[in-house]
Amino acid sequence: MATTADFKNGMYISFNGKPCSIIWFQHVKPGKGAAFVKTKLRNLENGRVLENTFTAGERIDTIRVERRPYQYLYQDDTGYHFMHTETFEQIFLQADLLENPDLMKEGQHVEMMFLADEERVLTCELPPFVEMEVTYTEPAVKGDTASSNVLKSATIETGAEIMVPLFINQGDHIKVDTRTRAYSERVR
């Protein structure tokens, strides 16, 4: 148990029975009336941001959330299979718990967030950038480079399609931002 006086950015709490993390908070003491705390909370199950106001001193249930390293193994009919990198324990997840699963390739390291008391997976996060090989893209046509920000579609080794600059060719290795699904740079 904690109170609103214990709030910190990044703190994990149970709000309306759902696991949430505090993104932002502000303690407000108006000239007239009781003090209160305005907050922005991120629901850890679906990623939505909620705004809520707590009265000062209100009791809050804290929860324990753990981050654990896993390695992506493969995908089949039951879901996506992962192995804990230290204990070698294997688990599988459905696609709805993964963000951008088409940017994962076998052997990739990911980080999973667990609700420690229930041993339940909340999210699976890819590293910010992954290196991929371009398996198919149309060749650039000479004269198409009138402006510097022209993009074309490319298929990468996992089957995902992203937009890349015209100078990227089939067989090139590129770095992809997993948060925005955008081309970042070419890897030599």
Taking residues 53-64, what's their average pLDDT?
Answer: 94
Architecture of domain 65-125 in this structure: Beta Barrel (2.40)
Whether 65-125 and 2-62 are alike in CATH topology: the answer is no
Q: Are 148 and 136 in contact (CB under 8 A)?
A: no
Please give the pLDDT value at position 139.
84
Taking residues 149-157, what's their average pLDDT?
Answer: 89
Task: Domain ranges for the chain, please list them.
Answer: 2-62, 65-125, 130-187
Question: Could you tell me which residue, 80 or 142, shows the higher pLDDT?
Answer: 80
CATH fold of 130-187, please? OB fold (Dihydrolipoamide Acetyltransferase, E2P) (2.40.50)
Q: Which two tokens stand for residue 51?
A: 């705004």
1 pLDDT band, cuts 50/70/90, is confident
Evaluate if residue 99 carries a pLDDT over 80.
yes
What type of residue is 144?
A: D
DSSP string, the chain: -EEGGG--TT-EEEETTEEEEEEEEEEE--SSS--EEEEEEEETTT--EEEEEEETT-EEEE--EEEEEEEEEEEETTEEEEEETTT--EEEE-GGGBSSGGG--TT-EEEEEEETTTTEEEEEE--SEEEEEEEEEPPPPTT--SSTT-EEEEEETTS-EEEEETT--TT-EEEEETTTTEEEEEE-
Please give the pLDDT value at position 153.
92
Taking residues 75-101, what's their average pLDDT?
Answer: 90
Whole-angstrom distance, CA of residue 123 vs CA of residue 103: 16
Taking residues 86-113, what's their average pLDDT?
Answer: 90
166 pLDDT band, cuts 50/70/90, is confident
Between 5-9, 139-143, 145-149, the lowest mean confidence (pLDDT) is in 145-149
Taking residues 147-163, what's their average pLDDT?
Answer: 87
Please give the pLDDT value at position 35.
93
CATH 2.30.30.30 fits 2-62, yes or no: yes
